[in-house]
Amino acid sequence: MGKKVVITGVPGVGKTTVINQAISELSAEGVEYQDINFGSCMFEVASGQGLVKDRDEMRKLEQAKQRELQRNAAQFIAKTEGNVIIDTHCTVKTPKGYLAGLPEWVLKELMPDTFILVETDEDQILMRRMSDETRVRDAEGYRALCEHQQFNRAMAASYAMLTGCTVKIVVNADNLLDKSVEELKEILR
Ligand code: AP5
């Protein structure tokens, strides 16, 4: 049985950047992880059904549909063998409020060993979102981002209570990507 590590962070915090570099450096050491993007699993089904044209539209879908897409993705990911990183969200900001990224039925399919929150200062996240022209990021202010990061910590604690997983916070500060990659590699080894 491999390790299952869930990695989350608010959009634009740079979690995918940290994951990609850590996986490639670990692979050079002979430690292999498969990286599965939860949003991509959901998007494959949602776009196949003609519900969305891009991944940023998914968080605006009706709640029941998002839940169904979550369940499908979790069932698919649960079948994956070996060491797995699941790149996803602790909570998703929808027009009707925060949606748990890993509600009970998703958690019970995945049963992660470790849950990681990638965080950094809110002003850095705002700048990263503004300079990313490839995505349709939510335009949010400093306070909204603080609330989202705080809410994510509270949800991570509840995920730990439900599964017995550990929770680790990795800071991905501006121009200190190598430091966050080192921290993540330590956890994944
Ligand atoms: P997802 O695919 O995860 O998209 P996302 O949230 O936008 O995450 P990204 O991977 O695009 O951003 P990131 O934060 O990893 O930042 P990046 O590395 O690109 O999710 C898509 C959708 O799927 C969600 O909106 C949701 O609808 C759905 N979904 C997913 N999981 C779900 C779930 N469990 N339940 C329900 N729905 C779910 O980096 C951003 C920028 O920062 C880059 O320009 C990068 O160069 C820069 N950067 C990174 N690190 C640094 C650094 N240290 N210093 C300076 N710049 C940096």
List pLDDT tens digits, range 87-113.
999 999 999 999 999 999 999 999 999
* Digit-coded pLDDT (tens) for 130-188: 888 887 777 789 999 999 999 999 999 999 999 999 999 999 999 999 999 999 999 99
Question: Is-contact 18 177, C-beta < 8 A?
Answer: yes
Q: Whose CA is nearest to atom 21 of ligand 1?
A: 39
What interhelical angle do 122-131 and 142-163 show, nearest 10?
A: 110
**The model's pTM:** 0.93
Instruction: Answer whether 120 contacts ligand 1 (Cβ < 6 A).
Output: no
For domain 4-37+82-188, the CATH class is alpha beta
Instruction: Print the SS3 string covering the chain.
Output: CCCEEEEECCCCCCHHHHHHHHHHHHHHCCCCCEEEEHHHHHHHHHHHCCCCCCHHHHHHCCHHHHHHHHHHHHHHHHCCCCCEEEECCCEEEECCEEEECCCHHHHHHHCCCEEEEEECCHHHHHHHHHHCCCCCCCCCCHHHHHHHHHHHHHHHHHHHHHHCCEEEEEECCCCCHHHHHHHHHHHHC
Residue 134 CA to ligand 1 centre (angstroms) = 11
Average pLDDT, the chain: 95
Instruction: Answer whether 58 contacts ligand 1 (Cβ < 6 A).
Output: yes
Residue 31 CA to ligand 1 centre (angstroms) = 24
Residues in the chain, total: 189
Residue 183: CB atoms within 10 A of its CB come to 19
Residue 15 CA to ligand 1 centre (angstroms) = 6
Pocket test for ligand 1, best of 21, 23, 55, 121 (most atoms within 8 A of CB): 55
Query: What confidence score (pLDDT) does residue 188 get?
Result: 97
Q: What ipTM was assigned to the predicted interfaces of this complex?
A: 0.87
* Digit-coded pLDDT (tens) for 39-54: 999 999 999 999 999 9
Residue 135 CA to ligand 1 centre (angstroms) = 10
Q: Identify the CA nearest to 5 among candidates 108, 88, 101.
A: 88
